[in-house]
A and B are shown apart, each in its own frame.
Chain A
Amino acid sequence: MAMSFPGGIRPDEAKYSASSPIDTMQAGSLISIPISHPEGGDLTPCVKVGDPVLVGQILAEGEGICCPVHSGVSGTVRRIGPMLTPYGERMGIEIENDFRLAPSPSIQPFSRPLHSATPEEITDHIRQKGITGHGGAGYPAWAKIASCRGKAARLVINCCESEPYLTSNHRLLLERTNQIVGGTKILLRALECEKAMFVMEDNKEDAAEALVRLVGNSKSFSLAVLKTKYPQGDERLLCRALKGKEIPKGAGTVDMGLVVFNVQTAYAVYRAFVEGMPQVSKVITVSGDCVKNPTNLSVPLGVSLQEIFDRCGGFSSPPNAVICGGPMMGKAQETSEIPLTAEVEGLLALSVKKTKESPCIRCGRCLRACPMHLSPMSLYRAARKEKKEKLVRYHAEVCTQCGSCTWVCPAHIPLAEIIASGKALIRQDQAE
């Protein structure tokens, strides 16, 4: 019986690319790598304009929780300066591709067998290979490992993909099962954790079977299949579905005994150890009603979104929205001439219908849809009238911006957007 959390929605899954095997794309003549520091500011470049670079060479480094950024091609540094990325303008490094893919000598398998490496050495290697979380936040993996080491009873590998259109996690699990299990073992050692659990929804039965065939008899691996619902992949709702308990306000999954990593992170960790390959590419889903051939594609980081669309056969009809991420929580981009970065899970070209907002009829669907059991109806009214006291009382800060309320509202009120402005209002207030 599939477990789940109360609430949530079931949008049309639109998994057009679910049966397309992962294809690989080569970089074009130019790649652009942003070098922003997760704690603010920029990383320090290790190369200058005109320097030659090799595949896997470190381009920029920094202090604090960040990890180095690497090149996915060999060639020459063309420019270091501001560039437009899916998340705004950032400092970055542009590299002109010489198409030789000459590897750097640092691309070596990890020198020792896993059982003889200490957790600290493993974590340091993960840091050096630049691995960041692939679940959308882009937080450096090594920092999460270091802060959770020894604290969690179970590692959860999140293979959930509840957003419509996205299928990359599914295909990765199906086609690279060995590597993912290998990456999980490495993560287990780094976290000083004994047990791992793979979590996915019940629309990925074939991937679940592949995993069972591989590790079904193992005592340290288990599998949980959850009901297909949006937004199942959220950490808080995973905890609710797996443990039946909610994470109290202010606490994290670690306090409930779980540490969650995305399945692509496990895959990247494996490659970092067995091949010595740093994080220079990513598997994404390219889909949407305007894409000619919806595909799962392994793309080098830094390739422009337009090149990715062209690789998939271009547009079947002109889209009016290019979205990085899924259709529920992704970010609409103003242009497709921006580079792919590690946080982007999917690339969509959609034809979005314009709708007009009408008055709220108090139908209550938003309350039933909200996975955090908030009252979006009350929150949006408080936000529109800027009533900060009410926003705090109705727990506006618990909102995860999943968008279920906007999706379901028959009056087409942009609830999630208005609640986000309400949250910003409270944060502003608290900052003062």
Chain B
Amino acid sequence: MKKLISGSAPFIHHEDSTRSIMADVIIALTPAAVWGVYAFGLRALVILLMGIFSSVLFEFLIGLCLKKPLICTDLSAVVTGLILALTMPVAVPLYLVPLGAFVATVVGKGAFGGLGRNYVNPALLGRGVLCLAFSGSMTFFLEPFTSPSALSLTLSRAAWVEHTMTQSLTERMREGVMPEEIRYTDLLTGSVAGGIGEVSALVLLAGLMYLLVRRVITWHTPVFFVGTLAALALLFPYGVVARVDFMLASLLTGGLLFGAIFLANDPVTSPVTTGGKILYGILCGALLYLFRYFFGDAFGATFAILLANLPARLLDRLFFPRAYGTRRQGLVHLVERIRGFVIPLWKRVEEKLRTKA
């Protein structure tokens, strides 16, 4: 008989692993990636490959520095790179892709301590920095099916001016223009100003279905994110058009769906408890609508989710599970801790006032 192990129970395990979950996310992203390449041509493929490759490379280099060169084999760097690339507009200068990957992998993940320790979504951080520093390049959106050149480092805006989409649907609606040519089938299958993967709502929804069936994410965050946005769009529209039209346009434009399905649900930076996820979804939706309302369409999803990432762990504290046989403690604890902080402070203030008097 072989040498017997002496570990602790349990001795069986669910078949999933971190790598299989990452693989599931990649599979869910594949329809969007394929459609993006179909819609935008080879340049999209180049961007996707560059994103994945640079992301994995940076993670490998970090691994070398930490003497753990195999950390890039858990596929999380592939996911980061793929997501980052899918949010890029196809006309983006190619050198911005590895730059974004650098910020995402080295700053967004590595600097915090690696997988599981970051507080904001790494791909979003990469994208956020690029948006702030290169806002012009990041808003250079081309119409689909125009085949920009695959390997030129940058594309001249002047040369592509007639295919540039300068205003999104909702922005046109803000000005009261009800575009006659809106066919929702177009929006569903792509004629939207957006990143490579953000074009077609249908392929994104297919990805969502896959993630839900495989239990990689739960339905709460996407539903409440999209639902809150839809409700706000119905109640406080900034487009001077029919409310329902405006709401539908809001849902289908501006990378909302991509954000709600793939960006907001990053397990490391989103809440773990159901109540937390619901609040987080509502927060994302509300922030996004606020940004769009006052600042228009650009980058709303990116910064809304980044901001919502910050209180995510706090939201979990509020909804901390009630242990079997005990009474609910979450809110009580929060109140206790606030009291524990405020009361000594108040005592000190009182002392000071008394000694002064």
Contacts and interface: CB of A to CB of B under 8 A. Distances in A.
A329 B10 contact: yes
Contact of B324 (A236, A336, A358, A361): A236
Interface string B8-44: 1111111011101100000000000000000000000
Contacts of A248: 325-326
A352 B273 contact: no
A328 interface: yes
B113 to A, nearest CB: 9
B117 interface: yes
A6 to B, nearest CB: 10
Nearest to B324: A372
B324 A371 contact: yes
Interface string A366-380: 010011111101100
B325 A236 contact: yes
Given A320-B5, A336-B1, A367-B273, A327 B10 contact: yes
B145 to A, nearest CB: 38
B322 interface: yes
Given A332-B9, A336-B1, A398-B325, A407 B14 contact: yes
A350 B6 contact: no
A360 B325 contact: no
Contacts of B272: 362-364, 367, 375, 377
Nearest to B272: A364
B320 interface: yes
A248 B322 CA distance: 12
B10 A322 contact: no
Interface stretch (A60-68, A78-86, A213-221, A408-416): A408-416
A401 B13 CA distance: 15
A327 B252 CA distance: 49
B18 A410 contact: yes
A11 B14 contact: yes
B347 interface: no
B326 A395 contact: yes
Interface string B307-337: 0000000000000111111100100010000
B352 interface: no
Interface residues of B, number: 38
Contacts of A325: 9
Given A367-B272, A410-B16, A327 B11 contact: yes
Contacts of A298: none
B116 interface: yes
A328 B9 contact: yes
A362 B13 contact: no
Interface in A27-75: none
Contacts of A414: 7-8
B213 interface: no
B18 A411 contact: yes
A420 B11 CA distance: 16
Contacts of B356: none
B117 A315 contact: no
B321 A320 contact: no
A37 B40 CA distance: 77
A430 B352 CA distance: 40
B234 interface: no
A359 B114 contact: yes
A361 B4 contact: no
Contacts of A416: 8-10
B206 interface: no
Given A318-B2, A371-B324, A398-B323, A361 B8 contact: no
Interface residues of A, number: 66
B10 A315 contact: no
Nearest to B16: A410
B321 A374 contact: yes
B195 to A, nearest CB: 25
Nearest to A320: B2
B9 A330 contact: yes
B3 interface: yes
A331 interface: yes
Contacts of A182: none
Residue in B13, B74, B115, B320 with the greatest tally of chain A CB atoms within 10 Å: B13
Contact of B21 (A9, A360, A363, A373): A363
Contact of A319 (B2, B18, B21): B2
Contact of B11 (A236, A246, A336, A352): A352
Contact of A315 (B1, B14, B267, B326): B1
Most buried by A among B16, B267, B324, B329: B324
B117 A361 contact: no
Nearest to B218: A364
A280 B267 CA distance: 53
A335 interface: yes
Q: Which of B5, B267, B268 has the most CB of A within 10 A?
A: B5
A319 B116 contact: no
Nearest to B323: A395
B323 A374 contact: yes
Q: Which of A318, A321, A323, A363 has the most CB of B within 10 A?
A: A363
A353 B14 CA distance: 12
A294 interface: no
Given A359-B114, A403-B9, A407-B10, A321 B4 contact: yes
A328 B9 CA distance: 6
Interface in A303-354: 315, 318-323, 325, 327-336, 348, 350, 352-353
A373 B330 CA distance: 13
Contact of A331 (B9, B16, B17, B268): B9
A164 interface: yes
A373 B18 contact: no
A9 B16 CA distance: 14
Report, nearest first, the 3 A-B pairs whose CB atoms are least far apart.
A403-B10, A395-B323, A364-B272
27 contacts: A12-B12, A236-B325, A246-B325, A247-B325, A315-B1, A318-B2, A320-B5, A321-B11, A327-B9, A332-B4, A332-B6, A333-B4, A348-B11, A350-B12, A361-B115, A364-B267, A373-B321, A373-B324, A374-B324, A375-B321, A395-B326, A398-B324, A403-B9, A406-B10, A411-B17, A414-B8, A416-B8
Given A332-B8, A398-B323, 20 more contacts: A248-B325, A319-B2, A319-B4, A320-B2, A327-B10, A330-B9, A332-B6, A352-B5, A355-B17, A358-B17, A358-B18, A359-B114, A364-B267, A372-B323, A373-B323, A393-B329, A403-B10, A407-B14, A410-B20, A412-B13
Interface of B: 1-14, 16-18, 20-21, 74, 76, 114-117, 267-268, 272-273, 320-326, 329, 333
